[in-house]
Structure 1
Amino acid sequence: MKYLFFFSLNIFLFTHAFSQDYKFEAGIQGGPNLSYFSYKNSFIQNARKPTDIQFSAGLFFQYNLSENFSLRIDPTFDRKGYQYKDITFTDNSGNILGTGKLYGHLDYITIPVLFKASVGNKVKYFVNAGPSIGLLLSETFIYDNPYGNGNQKTHNTNQYKKADAGITAGLGIAIPLGNAIALSFEVRNNVGLTNINKNSNANSAIHANTTSMLVGVAYKFGSN
C-alpha cells in the first residue's frame, strides 16, 4: 500500500507539472529571410525583381491570455537585401553607359506586435498577425561600375526614411522540449506599407518586404 501511495503521488505530480499553465514566455529566434524590394527608377532599365537572401535574428516576449490566445512583441534585427542583375545604366540624356548589376542592404530593428492563436495539446500549431514598425539603422549600396572600374560602395542612409510601417503575419509549430522549454519553427511574412524613399517622386517609390524562416527557443515562466 505504501508503494502504491508513493507511485500514485509521483504520477499526480508529474501530470500536474506537465499540464501547468504559464502566463509568460520569452526567448530568441532567427533564420534566413528572402527580401523583395518593390523599386522604380527611371535610370534603371529592364531590371529583374530585386530579391536577395539575408537574415533576421532577435528576441520575443509573449503574454498568454489563455491556453489558445496570446499577445507577443518581437524586437528583431532584420537585414533586408536587394540585387538587380543585367541592367542598363543611362545618363540624364538617355545615353547608354553600360550594363551591370547593383545590390545592397538596409539594416532595421523591426518591432511587430502580434496577436497569436494556437491549437493542440502538447505540440502547438499557431498563427499570428499584427502591425509592425521598422527603425532604419544603416544602408549600404554597391554597384558594378559600367566603365569596368570594379565595385563601388556607398552609404546613403540619409536618403531613406527612418521608419517603415508594415503588417506582419506568420504560421508555425511549437514543440515542447521539457516542462518549460519549447522549440518553434515559423514562416513569417512582413509587408512594408510605406514608401521608404525620401524622394517624393512616385517613380522612385520603394517598398521593402521579407519572408523569413525562423527557428526559436522559448522559456516559459509565471505559472498559475
Structure 2
Amino acid sequence: MKKIALAATAFLFALGANAQSKGNIEFGVNTGVNFSTISSGEYWGSADTSTGFNVAASLDFYFSDRWSIKVKPTYDRKGWDGDYVTVDGNDYPTDYNVDYLTVPVMANWHFGSKRNWYLNFGPYAGFLLSAKDTRFDTDVKNALNSTDIGLAFGIGVKIPVSDKIKIFFEYEGQSGFSDAFKDNYTGNVYTSRNSLNVGLNFLLK
C-alpha cells in the first residue's frame, strides 16, 4: 500500500511540473487510430464508419503559458465503409480508403493548475494523396477534389517524463467544410474524422 501511495504521489507531482512559457517551442510526434466517414445530410445521411490511422509531427510555438500556435502535418488515412464500386457495368459492395496529407494550424489553449491539459481548434487543409476501393483496389482519386478544407479541434493531456520530454494522450476531430467529390449530383458530401492519439513532445527551446 505504501508503494502504491508513493507511486501515486510521484504521478501527481509529474502532472504538476514543467509548464511551458513565452518563447518556448515544442516538437511533437504521434500516431493514432482514425474513425472516419462521409456524409450528406441533404440526401442520404452518413456512410458507415471506416477505421484507419494517422502519423503526425507538430511544432507548438508558445506566446504565454496559456496560449500557443500549433502546426501539425499529418498523414491521414480516412475513408468510409458500406458503399459500392462499379466494375464492367456491375455494382459490388466495397469500402474506400482515402489518404490525405492534412495540415491543421490551431490555437492551443493550455489549462489546469500547471497547464498540462490543452484544448485546440483551427482550420485545416487536406491534400489528397490516394483513393481506392478495398475490393478491387480501383483507383478513384480522379473522382475526388484534391483539397479538403475544414475545422480541426482536440483536447489532450501531457505527462512529463523528464525536463524536456512529455508523453501525451489526446482526442482529435476534423469536420470538412468543402465538397469531397468533383461531380456530385446528390448534394455536397463532407468528410469527418475522429481519432485517439498517443505521442511524445520534446522541448526545443
Q: What range describes the TM-score normalised by the shorter chain of this pair? A: 0.7 to 0.9
The corresponding residue for 2:198 is: 215
- Aligned residue pairs total 184
With over 3 angstroms needed to count, the CA separation of the structure-2 counterparts of 1:49 and 1:204, relative to structure 1, is same
Pick from 107, 111, 114 the counterpart of residue 106 of structure 2: 114
Residue type of the alignment partner of 1:81:
G
1:19 to partner: Cα distance: 6.8
Deviation at 1:153, TM superposition (A): 2.8
Aligned-pair identity in percent equals: 26
Look up the match of 1:165.
Answer: 149
Select 1:105's aligned residue among 97, 109, 113: 97
Contact 2:66 2:115 in 1 (8 A): no
Q: Which residue in the other structure is 1:132 paired with?
A: 124
Match of 1:146 in 2: none
* Amino acid of the structure 1 residue aligned with 2:104: P
SS where residue 158 of structure 1 aligns?
A: helix
Q: How far has the Cα of 1:121 moved from its partner? A: 4.4
Aligned residue for 2:142, secondary structure, equals: helix
Which residue of structure 2 aligns with residue 180 of structure 1?
A: 164
Deviation at 1:49, TM superposition (A): 3.1
The one-letter code sitting in structure 1 at the alignment partner of 2:154 is G
* Counterpart pick for 2:72 among 61, 71, 74: 74
Q: CA deviation at 1:20?
A: 7.2
Computing the radius of gyration from Cα coordinates, the structure with the larger value is: 1
Find 1:206's aligned residue among 183, 189, 199.
Answer: 189
TM-score of the superposition, structure 1-length normalised? 0.74
Question: 2: distance between equivalents of 1:209 and 1:130?
Answer: 15
Residues of 2 paired with 1:20 and 1:141: CA distance?
45
| Matching residue's letter, 1:33 | N
Query: Which residue number corresponds to residue 194 of structure 1?
Result: 178
Structure 2 CA distance, aligned partners of 1:102 and 1:39?
19
Counterpart of 1:4?
none
Normalised by the length of structure 2, the TM-score is: 0.80
CA RMSD of aligned residues (A): 2.7
Q: Return the match for 1:156 from 104, 115, 140.
A: 140
Question: How many Å separate the matches in 2 of 1:200 and 1:220?
Answer: 46
Between 111-120 and 47-56, the greater mean CA deviation after superposition: 47-56
User: Matched residue of 2:47: which SS?
Assistant: coil
Q: Are residues 167 and 38 of structure 1, via their aligned partners in 2, closer, same or farther at CA, if it must alter by over 3 Å?
A: same
Deviation at 1:84, TM superposition (A): 0.6
Compute the displacement of 1:101 (Å).
Answer: 2.4
Runs of 5+ unmatched residues, structure 1: 1-16, 143-150
Distance in 2, matches of 1:20 and 1:123, equals 8
Structure 2 unaligned blocks of 5 or more? 1-16
Please give the alpha-carbon distance, in whole angstroms, between the structure 2 residues aligned to 1:19 and 1:195. 40
Q: Which amino acid aligns with 2:79?
A: G
